[in-house]
Structure 1
Amino acid sequence: MADGGIIRDVPGGIPRQVNVSCSPTVFQFEQLSAETCILMNVLGYGPHIRQARIDAFKAHDRHMTALARGNSTWVTTGSKAEGLTNYRESDTDSMCVTNHVMCLEEGVDSSIVPGEKSIFRSCSRISYHGHCRLLLERYGTRIPTIINNALCDDGYGSGLLSSDLYVNQMLNVKYMYNERTVGHERAGPSAPFTSNGIDHADLVGALHFKCPSILTRWAARHRNWPSSDVVQEVVSLGAFVSPVGVKGSDYEPVEWRMCFNTGENMLVNNLHDTQVKLYVLLKMVKNDVLKPCKKEVTSFIVKNIVLWIAENNPQSLFNERSLFHWLHEGLYALRVAIDTKELPYYMIPERNLMAACALEHEQKLSLIATIDEMMKDGPRLILRLPKIRQAIIAHPEPLRWYSGRRIEVEMLRLIASNRMVEILQLIAKNRIDEETDGILKQDVIMQANLRRQKEIVMEVGLRMIMEGSRVNDMGDVLNSMLM
């Protein structure tokens, strides 16, 4: 540590701690780091806009859960729940969690579960870490059809819940908002669909999972982050099981994966602003530079690298002037994960996130070579990221002008989306027969929202025309602003 180096003794090669007091050159390019943070705030990655997105999707989840009338709980996951993407910048990932079923870890007393709920007992002895099979222990007073149709025999006369059959059942669930929604073929554990021909989403059916021993082990780790209050809140949020097995496993069709989506949302939302920007930049590297063909490197892998870095380093080392240092460390950790095909899952370290990635030798060498080149580039590596490069080239005044309007349109769109679900709730509650479109036209809040969106789009379109662009369709302008 005397030379300000990194202790890389954490599984997966994640940086453990940096001693910045011994070397004035450890954090290089401090001014460029600070300017990049400011630029990312303008682009919509600042704390205020992130929190507004997070709050909007939490409200959406509450409305959708209320619309389900106690049958299920709606949870937005991924980048949308983390507040890190624009309205249409990526697909919306959601979980629909059945409330009439409880899955229990081995050793948990089933008498604590209300009698109306069916109970499944997890069996993980012959499954890979973080996965399990679900054996029926008790029928509840109300058995969801999707559960009943996914049951099969385990060969010993007991009920076994098939993850494969469960996903196929999810494809037939009428969860759509309206008649403009089109379902697609299954993609792994998810049932993808498209609304209004342009808004793409992935819906995963999941079950509640009570696993105190796993969460207790996670909470007991020595760590620099998060605080004890956040740790306890993550524990209180519990876990889920999603219908996906280990690829290539003999039991893949009946295996379920343990996941902690609400807890992970909480963790990301409690990251330091610099750690969040590190996460965003690494995701840009993954999407725009590495461009994995078959999800050999995913956003989930990148997120786990950032969570390990946050846990294993003093929080005083993270500030806007150290962004490029941590970007270098994040790239190094990603390089190690690709090279060794090892990266421990943050919640269950025994599970290797790289174990099932279809990474061929030549592709691995290519990815490593690309990362090595970026690390040698220093701060110039961000010029490889189209969104950052375009913002650097742009004049500051037009960039701020446009970004302000783009963010306002995004917020209006999120408000409109939530208002739509509120109206659907009113229709369901009051059993109104009138068409939804007719009610929307009478809704003062929705009409004011749409009117303001139109004003902003017309303003942006007019400026584009004045600056020489050929704009014929304001709808195209709106769609580009939401990407």
Structure 2
Amino acid sequence: MAGRCDEAIDSLTFYNYLCEKIGSEEVVKIRRETFLIHDIGQSDNFISSGSKAEGLNLSGSDTDVMIVDSDMQAYESETDVVIDFKVTPFIMNTDDTQPCFTQLYAPIDIQNYTLEASESLLNMSQQNHLGYLLSNEKYKLFKMSNFGAANNSKIHGPCISDGDDEYDCAYCLKCDTWISQAKPWVSRPRTEWPSPELISKIISCGVLFVPVGNKGSTNENFEWRISFSVAEKYLIFSFSHTQLLCYAMLKILLKEIIEKHEDLKGLLCSYFLKTLLFWISEETDPYVWRPEKLIPCFKACLQRLLYCTRYSILSHYFIPDNNLFFLRFDTYKKEKLTTILMNLYRQGISCFEFSDTLHDYQIQPFEINELFIRDNNIFLQQLMPTFCILRKLSYFRRVARFWRLMHDFLHHSRTSLSSGLFAIQFSFASRIVPEVTQYPKNSGNKYHYVRYKHDLSYLMIGLHSDAVSGLLMLASFFYVKKNYLSSLTVIAYTLNKCTAKNIYPGLLNDSKLDSIKQHVIKLVKKEKLHTILKSLTMYSFRLKHNSSIVPKELQQDVQNGDTVFHPLPYSHFLNFLCHYLPST
């Protein structure tokens, strides 16, 4: 009995420690809501995925995005096709593919289905007896050409990655129905997880197809992997915090301990760990996943991973016929990995002594404040990076998302937290409106007055997106309109707000975070989350060609695309223009 009591105490202590290092339940909730709000502001076809969207922000994780191709629609059979003359239908063919993979072909009589069948479709396809077989390689190359050569993009598996390896984007096709291969998952025996309501929600989302084939297949370039990313996201969201922390511990174990062995890098991946958690969660009582059971839960996960490695078997969660570990390991690597996992299992949580993230753990009490935000370490180190990532990602797709954000703000913002997060995104989106609005080619004072008021109103809303960049856009607008006094007033106010306490995403590091902790402690005692985010952050901003806020002195610089400016040097440059050029 004493042993069980000690284990429960150690589990609770380690649970509280992980909440500080990885994120409390409230922090995870905010991360997820932030990504969801960002997705809503983009489009129905934009899906944030991967660990960050799931609520984790671990070292080394990139940002994953899935974009559903709105010009193509996948179906399981030709009888399911819904005729839409603007969308090209593609039919699944699994006759010669392994489980979890399919070929996609457009019918030979494609012109009967769509008016959009084009030369680009033919260039991405190879004709056979079924129709036009879609090549995953040519599809990615076509999308990468639209992605932009300026990004130094490259193909990475099913994804297109930016040159800095900060995010992966997977363009994909969607089937709105739940496919036959995965139907046994719906009704197979299980304990209590996932619930019938969650299963119903998942199957209503259909499945995705990502452009990558089964490695080694003779038709690899014409195969597409069936993806359940949306379903997996819902499943992760249904995890208790203890389950999520176990998942995070396994990821840290893989990246910071196992993969320190160079010859084992890439042998396992986060997707395998996620699949492992799904199987264990389905087979166990949800009551088991409690904070006081954290250590035995983690060891049970590690024990299952050891078993799967030893016997080279890890079934795909939705389509078990696909063994993810089939021919995965050679004899040497299997024996080495098995030995390492056995040693880690014997050590328990002491194994994290050798990890970069959790090496400073000691058996001592950790208390999580009732209001998570009062812990400046959690706020700075766990939440700020998420908002910095998303702000950079927002430039990835500059779509007209203003009215969509307005609609969702009014209909879905039910809590003060979501209202605040929506407000930040809404303010940021409003700054784009003057740049994308197409004005009629009219003349006259009345027309110019209407345009002036229109642009000014949206720029005023945009002031609330961060501490200074919205102000600089407004100052630039006044300068272009030759309202130099107003521009100088805004510039002066902006420069007063540019302090050492601002966080600039490009310089976000531990030393910077440490230097402003006391300032944050004062803020959290009296301000709401979105107010703190606005007052702390200082983002660069982009000027678009033909925008109403580009000074004529810079029009040559932004003529061939968007140009990024840091607020501080731009403030001084604009200040110079206002003082000297009007008199020349």
The reply on whether 1:142 has 2:108 as its aligned counterpart is no
Deviation of the 1:343 alpha carbon:
0.5
3-state SS, counterpart of residue 128 of structure 1 = coil
C-alpha contact (below 8 Å) 2:431/2:461 kept by paired residues:
no
Q: Report the TM-score when normalising by structure 1.
A: 0.78
The reply on whether 1:188 has 2:157 as its aligned counterpart is yes
- Residue of 460, 465, 480 corresponding to 2:514: 460
How far apart, in 2, do the equivalents of 1:254 and 1:381 lie?
A: 43
How far apart, in 2, do the equivalents of 1:145 and 1:191 lie?
A: 23
The reply on whether 1:228 has 2:196 as its aligned counterpart is yes
1:273 counterpart residue number: 241
Q: 1:82 to 1:388 in 2, by over 3 A?
A: same
C-alpha contact (below 8 Å) 1:104/1:211 kept by paired residues:
no
Q: 1:354 to 1:405 in 2, by over 3 A?
A: same
Instruction: Write out aligned runs for 1:34-433 (5 A).
Output: 34-65=12-43, 73-85=45-57, 89-106=60-77, 109-137=79-107, 138=110, 139-143=113-117, 147-154=121-128, 156=129, 158-174=131-147, 182-194=151-163, 200-209=166-175, 210-224=177-191, 225-291=193-259, 293-355=264-326, 357=328, 359-392=329-362, 400-410=375-385, 412-413=387-388, 416-417=391-392, 419=425, 422-423=429-430, 426-427=433-434, 429-431=436-438
Deviation of the 1:109 alpha carbon:
2.7
**Amino acid paired to 1:251:** N
C-alpha contact (below 8 Å) 1:123/1:132 kept by paired residues:
yes
Deviation of the 1:217 alpha carbon:
2.0
Q: Percent identity?
A: 19
How far apart, in 1, do the equivalents of 2:134 and 2:50 lie?
A: 26
3-state SS, counterpart of residue 102 of structure 1 = strand
Q: 1:294 to 1:125 in 2, by over 3 A?
A: farther
Q: 1:242 to 1:408 in 2, by over 3 A?
A: closer
1:11 counterpart residue number: none
Deviation of the 1:153 alpha carbon:
1.8
> Which one is further off, 257-266 or 360-369?
360-369
**Amino acid paired to 1:410:** P
C-alpha contact (below 8 Å) 1:105/1:211 kept by paired residues:
no
Which protein shows a greater Rg? Answer: 2
Q: 1:276 to 1:454 in 2, by over 3 A?
A: farther
C-alpha contact (below 8 Å) 2:68/2:173 kept by paired residues:
yes
Residue-by-residue CA offset, 1:194-238 (whole Å, 9 max, x unaligned): 4xx6x7111111001244423432111122201111110011111
3-state SS, counterpart of residue 164 of structure 1 = helix
> Which one is further off, 410-419 or 113-122?
410-419
Deviation of the 1:389 alpha carbon:
1.7
C-alpha contact (below 8 Å) 2:83/2:114 kept by paired residues:
no
3-state SS, counterpart of residue 293 of structure 2 = helix
Unaligned runs of 5+ in 2: 368-373, 395-424, 440-450, 453-457, 470-496, 504-511, 519-536, 538-584
C-alpha contact (below 8 Å) 1:192/1:201 kept by paired residues:
yes
How far apart, in 2, do the equivalents of 1:226 and 1:452 lie?
A: 49
Deviation of the 1:414 alpha carbon:
5.7
C-alpha contact (below 8 Å) 2:380/2:513 kept by paired residues:
no
Q: 1:459 to 1:189 in 2, by over 3 A?
A: closer
How far apart, in 1, do the equivalents of 2:41 and 2:226 lie?
A: 26
1:70 counterpart residue number: none
Residue-by-residue CA offset, 1:316-339 (whole Å, 9 max, x unaligned): 111111111121111111112222
Deviation of the 1:269 alpha carbon:
0.5
Q: 1:389 to 1:248 in 2, by over 3 A?
A: same
Deviation of the 1:185 alpha carbon:
2.6
Deviation of the 1:449 alpha carbon:
7.2
C-alpha contact (below 8 Å) 1:167/1:191 kept by paired residues:
yes
How far apart, in 2, do the equivalents of 1:164 and 1:202 lie?
A: 16
How far apart, in 2, do the equivalents of 1:30 and 1:394 lie?
A: 14
Q: 1 or 2 for the larger relative contact order (CA 8 Å, sep ≥6)? A: 1
How far apart, in 2, do the equivalents of 1:183 and 1:395 lie?
A: 48
**Amino acid paired to 1:159:** Y
Runs of 4+ in 1 over 6 A off after TM superposition: 23-28, 393-397, 439-442
Residue-by-residue CA offset, 1:74-119 (whole Å, 9 max, x unaligned): 1111102201115x7411111111122111114x633445343221
CA root-mean-square deviation: 3.6
How far apart, in 2, do the equivalents of 1:122 and 1:132 lie?
A: 6
> Which one is further off, 141-150 or 97-106?
141-150
C-alpha contact (below 8 Å) 1:60/1:421 kept by paired residues:
no
Equivalent pairs, count: 425
C-alpha contact (below 8 Å) 1:288/1:385 kept by paired residues:
yes
Deviation of the 1:395 alpha carbon:
10
Q: Report the TM-score when normalising by structure 2.
A: 0.65
3-state SS, counterpart of residue 388 of structure 1 = coil
Q: 1:316 to 1:247 in 2, by over 3 A?
A: same
Residue-by-residue CA offset, 1:364-414 (whole Å, 9 max, x unaligned): 2111111111111133223233211225499979x9543333235335536
Q: 1:459 to 1:371 in 2, by over 3 A?
A: closer
How far apart, in 2, do the equivalents of 1:267 and 1:444 lie?
A: 37
Residue-by-residue CA offset, 1:273-329 (whole Å, 9 max, x unaligned): 111111000111111111174521000000000010100111111111111112111
Deviation of the 1:360 alpha carbon:
2.9
**Amino acid paired to 2:289:** F
3-state SS, counterpart of residue 203 of structure 1 = strand
3-state SS, counterpart of residue 155 of structure 2 = coil
Q: 1:76 to 1:411 in 2, by over 3 A?
A: closer
